[in-house]
């Protein structure tokens, strides 16, 4: 005589439903890490462009903002300083929370320098 046991029916569905929040949280954290890295890359590139522009006497802030787009451009704070034959550009950008344009997790600073190029008369 065979006894059929149905004790574990639906167990896979229950385990899957229990794992869905963990999977979604992991994906959200990975996406946030991608946004942090991308923001660092954008800040560094914008600072490079601002330093190049300031080195030849152009508007470094405008050059930095030209190389940013969307949500990163709105909260960017570029600045340039000259001294000792060098130009130093700093661009500060807020890292978005999961969606670009939403909040600011923390601020990222990109810094770059270039040699001041004096214009000859």
**Does the residue 1 lie in any domain?**
no
40: left (phi over 0), alpha (psi -120 to 50) or beta: alpha
pLDDT at res. 16: 84
Which of the four pLDDT bands, split at 50, 70 and 90, describes residue 121? low
**Does the residue 120 lie in any domain?**
no
Q: Which domain holds residue 68?
A: 11-115
**Does the residue 2 lie in any domain?**
no
Domains in the chain: how many in total?
1
**Does the residue 69 lie in any domain?**
yes
Q: Is the pTM of this model over 0.85?
A: no
SS3 50: helix
**Does the residue 121 lie in any domain?**
no
Task: Report DSSP state, residue 68.
Answer: -
pLDDT digits (tens, 9 = 90+) for 23-57: 999 999 999 999 999 999 999 999 999 999 999 98
């Amino acid at each position: 005589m065979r006894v059929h046991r149905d004790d574990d029916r639906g167990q896979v569905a229950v385990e899957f439903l229990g794992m869905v929040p963990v999977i979604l949280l992991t994906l959200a954290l990975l996406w946030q890490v991608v946004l942090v890295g991308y923001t660092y890359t954008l800040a560094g590139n914008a600072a490079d462009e601002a330093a190049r522009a300031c080195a030849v006497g152009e508007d470094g802030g405008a050059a930095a903002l030209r190389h940013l787009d969307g949500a990163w451009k709105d909260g960017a704070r570029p600045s340039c300083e000259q001294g000792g034959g060098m130009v130093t550009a700093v661009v500060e950008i807020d890292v978005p929370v999961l969606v670009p344009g939403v909040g600011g997790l923390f601020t990222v600073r990109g810094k770059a320098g270039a040699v001041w190029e004096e214009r000859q008369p």
